[in-house]
Amino acid sequence: MRELSFALEVVSRRWTLLLVLNLAFFSCAFITALAADSFPSFSWAGASSLFAGRGEGGFFLTLVTIFAFNLVWAGFALITVPGLLFFPLSTALLMYRAFLWGLLLHFQPTCFYPTILPLFCLEGEAYVFAATGGTLVGASWLNPNAIYRNEQLPRLQAMKRAFKEFLVCYMCTVVTLLFAAALESCILTF
């Protein structure tokens, strides 16, 4: 129970950062989806072959594959790790993911929207949590006073505290990506 109260405390303390990243992610995806007609034309001819084998291994194998890819590659390696090194990179790469989602939404027939939009919301929120964690740890070692105002923490103590908050953000990322992978597995296998 203590862990849950700490998680709620972290989310309430970082509410502004979560709100800004959510607004940036979903706005970027929406604007990209609307503006994709003005981009230079490119072919999505190979896209059908990308999805040809997905879902053929059964529900559980599809779930594990999608979850592992989204967590390890898309969430951790692409969004979080660069932010640990230099915190603005988490936000920049989050916007890159939003751009890709916007393109995906633009080129889908609208009849697929009832299945794609919940998946988009779940994965988007998971990536926002991942970017929040990367931003917190990355900023804590560069400028601890910016993250922990009025506390005058030494750099090492600020990093330890930010790492605890990072773990909470990643717990939220894992749970959200698990739900997203289950939904995507249902879409692909049933």
What is the pLDDT at residue 42?
Answer: 58
pTM of the model: 0.91
Instruction: Return all residues near 79 (Cβ < 8 A) that are at least 6 apart.
Output: 90, 93, 94, 97, 127, 130, 131, 134
Question: Looking up tokens 């988007």, which residue turns up?
Answer: 124
190 vs 172, more confident: 172
At 33 the pLDDT is 93
Structural domain boundaries in the chain: 2-32+69-189
Instruction: Tell me the C-alpha distance between 174 and 171, whole Å.
Output: 5
Structure tokens that stand for 144 in this block: 């601890």
- The mean pLDDT value of the chain amounts to 90
Question: Is there a contact between 121 and 113 (Cβ–Cβ < 8 Å)?
Answer: no
The amino acid present at 30, given as its one-letter code, is F
Q: In this prediction, what percent of the chain has a pLDDT beyond 70?
A: 92
Give the tens place of pLDDT for each residue, 80-110. 999 999 999 999 999 999 999 999 999 888 8
Residue 47 has pLDDT above 60, yes or no: no
